[in-house]
Chain A
Amino acid sequence: MQNVQRVVVIGGTSAIALATVREWMSQRPGLQVVLAARPTPARADVANELRGEGAVVSEHDLELTDPTLARAQIETVFAGGPDIDVVLVAAGVLGDQEAAWTDVDAALRMTDINYRGAVLVGVLAGRRLREQGHGAMVLLSSVAGERVRRSNFAYGASKAGADGFYLGLGEALRGDGVHVLVVRPGFVRSPMTEGLPSPPLSQDPSQVARAVIDGLAHGRRIAWSPPAMRWVMAGLRHLPYPLFRRLPV
């Protein structure tokens, strides 16, 4: 994937998405960026910063906790306009892990944003890119979805669902000129993890940004960030449960 000219960011204020957009802009200024996010001052700040750096930015409202509204909003994002080269799906919440399996509202909020939102975008972006006959979708998944564990299983399960959906979507769209990349970062120091202690192999958003761009350049289906995470998770994936349960993860 070269010549990225126009990108749509779902979760337009995400630190990881912003780092990725900047990485594209460092290669070629004048990028067109469509930011879909809640209409907050944070979104306006991001849009203005990117404009100041030379991007052509447009803003769309998106509230994933209201599925009916979200559907209409995402439809608007993908209706018309010049061709889209990349759709970056970055919206996500970590939330309170204990509330997310004990409180119905918290549990549904997590699935609405992380899973249902990703699926909505996957279907509608897939339709658009397929009509175009080219383009890529990138899902920011997580190592937490690779093997769901006690400490954050509600989050992990929502990510695992989205991860599986996008891997399948990539297969379904293979003949249509549409590429799907699933990126599985480990711990990233971003607003989402603010206040949490940094574990080993933790990273900055810019590292994930490079994994996205590199993964697209090489036509990968899955990219790990940092790359070593792949081997850590390969080890964990097949660990017998009694052992897995006792790990401090």
Chain B
Amino acid sequence: MAWASSASCVVYSVGMTSARAGDPARAGVRRSLTGWGRTAASVADVFTVDDDEQVAMLVGSAGRRGVLARGLGRSYGDAAQNAGGLVLDMTARRAILQVDEATGVVEVEAGVSMDQLIRELLPLGWFVPVSPGTRQVTVGGAIAADVHGKNHHRDGSFGAHVQELTLVTGDGRVRRVVAGEPLFWATVGGMGLTGVILRARIRMKCVRTSTLLVDTRRCANLDDVLAQMEDDDRYDYSVAWVDCLARGAALGRSVLTRGRFATVDELPAPRRDHPLTFTSRTRLAAPPGWPNGLLNRYSVGAFNEAWFRKAPRARMGQPQSVGAFFHPLDGVAGWNRIYGSSGFLQYQVLVPLDSPDAIRQVVASFSSNGLASFLSVLKRMGSGNPGYLSFPRPGWTLTLDIPAGDPATGMLLDRLDEKILEVGGRSYFAKDSRMTARSAHAMYPRLSEWREVRDRFDPNGVFTSDLARRVQL
């Protein structure tokens, strides 16, 4: 290992001919990988990496098919796959290195999960600044996809709460990258294509309790829910669940849930003594080998109906746990298997605030085609950040789960992509498994700026992924 002189942000670089290269204990395993949607498997040499040197050495030894970091594989499509190349599994690097109890600033390894952060730090009054719909994502994955949560309208996406990154770039160097630098904003939302994130410094969010006070409201149709969401700013967290099978006047009927963390005084008396307790169990495991086609318009329709009826017409200030409010699906281990062997895809689009009609068209096409979508989610997003490829921007975002395998579905989604593009909207790389290069390039107009930065730090293009090849990033 050679310490670099004073070169701006380079910490050190590692000799590429490290003797470890041939160490069998550190050999990769040729393995088939998919995303959470379990479609489009591909095979790569997977290395579970433990120290910085090994990461740098592997980046240096990547061949023609390149290298990519992978977290917990919760992206739905092919973002965390690199067919024929190297994949660095980062989940063994899960040390929380430093916690400043006074400011909530933490330094963590990239493989630390949201689950781990919450378990270890919520009892101290610090919650993750942004939480996706599952706790099973790594900090590296959260930065690479610049994930958003129910508080996006207020607090922005994950990248906004990162102060500094440690990154192995394409030249095998380990660099510190401070928020604001071009490489920082190319990495936030950069889908792992600017380097391997080793560590990050994050500002956590101060909370007094682990309980949320939630207001729930049933909305008769899409117009109703869109109108209700106009005053989202009164709440820290907000999201609506949409029944995409409802038709006619009930098209887009929804259950809107919004809330904030309770203060200690607001807790029921018995809980005031230990306001920050966090418990969460996985109650059920979805059995392997579910048949295909189990989720059809009838079964999903019945589920959606029950969900809608169960929701109160309007209820204020109901206490809910972190798990129930943020991560309801984490209660069922391996729920992605209920879609059977053909897998499923998630379609998440975002359209500008003044184009809610595009959302209506998406909901209407699903409803009229009877395409089963379990749990469709609608959210009003706030301002974006300078991340070149970061997904969030002000607008409406709708997320749908759809069983994969039917060519007609693919064709429908291609048509919807056109509509989304017409209004200046986009799809989310972390969820995507099917968009074309042409749409991706149109949806992310800052792609060429991003490429300039990427090419500067990875001139030989060693970082790549199935997603990057598919949509030509």
Contacts and interface: CB of A to CB of B under 8 A. Distances in A.
Given A3-B470, A134-B83, A176 B411 contact: no
Nearest to B434: A3
Contact of B42 (A5, A27, A28, A133): A133
Given A2-B433, A133-B44, A177-B43, A213 B341 contact: no
Interface in B330-363: 341-342
B434 A2 contact: yes
A2 B39 contact: yes
Contacts of B30: 175-176
A27 B438 contact: no
B243 interface: no
B470 A30 contact: no
B287 interface: no
A133 B65 contact: yes
Contacts of A217: 342, 405, 407
B40 A133 contact: no
Q: Which of B30, B83, B434, B466 has the most CB of A within 10 A?
A: B83
Q: Which of A2, A218, A219 has its CB near the most chain B CB atoms (within 10 A)?
A: A2
Interface in B381-427: 404-405, 407, 410-411, 414
B274 interface: no
Contacts of B407: 27, 213, 217
A177 B42 CA distance: 5
A206 interface: no
A131 B84 contact: yes
A83 interface: yes
Interface in A118-146: 130-134
Interface string B431-473: 0011010100000000000000000000000000010011000
Contacts of B83: 83, 132-134, 177
B32 interface: yes
Contacts of B466: 134
B340 to A, nearest CB: 11
A4 to B, nearest CB: 10
A85 B291 CA distance: 27
A180 to B, nearest CB: 14
A80 B451 CA distance: 23
A88 B450 CA distance: 37
Contacts of B96: none
A130 B43 CA distance: 9
A2 B84 contact: no
Contacts of A213: 407
A83 to B, nearest CB: 6
B85 interface: yes
A130 B342 CA distance: 22
Contacts, number: 64
Q: Is the interface of A mostly helix, strand, loop or mixed?
A: loop
B41 interface: yes
Interface residues of B, number: 28
Contact of A134 (B43, B405, B410, B414): B43
Interface in A31-89: 82-83
Contact of B41 (A3, A28, A177): A177
A133 B410 contact: no
A176 B469 contact: no
A148 B414 CA distance: 45
Nearest to A174: B32
A145 B161 CA distance: 64
Contact of A30 (B39, B410, B434, B438): B438
A55 to B, nearest CB: 14
Contact of B85 (A5, A133, A175): A133
A102 to B, nearest CB: 47
A130 B411 CA distance: 29
Contact of A176 (B43, B414, B433, B436): B43
A30 B436 contact: yes
Interface hub of A30, A134, A213, A217 (most chain B Cβ within 10 A)? A134
Interface string A152-181: 000000000000000000000001110000
Given A28-B414, A219-B341, A134 B436 contact: no
Contacts of A130: 84
Contacts of A219: 341
B41 A131 contact: no
Contacts of A28: 410-411, 414, 436
A176 B433 CA distance: 20
A226 to B, nearest CB: 19
Interface in A193-226: 213, 217-219
A127 B82 CA distance: 17
A42 B40 CA distance: 35
B43 to A, nearest CB: 3
A174 to B, nearest CB: 9
Contacts of B40: 1-3, 134
Given A2-B410, A83-B83, A83-B469, A134 B438 contact: no
B457 to A, nearest CB: 24
B42 to A, nearest CB: 4
B56 to A, nearest CB: 23
27 contacts: A1-B40, A2-B39, A2-B405, A2-B434, A3-B434, A3-B470, A27-B407, A27-B410, A27-B411, A28-B410, A28-B436, A83-B83, A132-B65, A132-B83, A133-B84, A134-B40, A134-B41, A134-B42, A134-B83, A134-B84, A134-B466, A177-B42, A177-B43, A177-B84, A217-B405, A217-B407, A218-B405
Interface of A: 1-3, 5, 27-28, 30, 82-83, 130-134, 175-177, 213, 217-219
CB-based closest 7 A-B pairs: A177-B43, A133-B84, A133-B83, A134-B42, A133-B43, A134-B83, A132-B84
Interface of B: 30, 32, 39-44, 65, 82-85, 341-342, 404-405, 407, 410-411, 414, 433-434, 436, 438, 466, 469-470
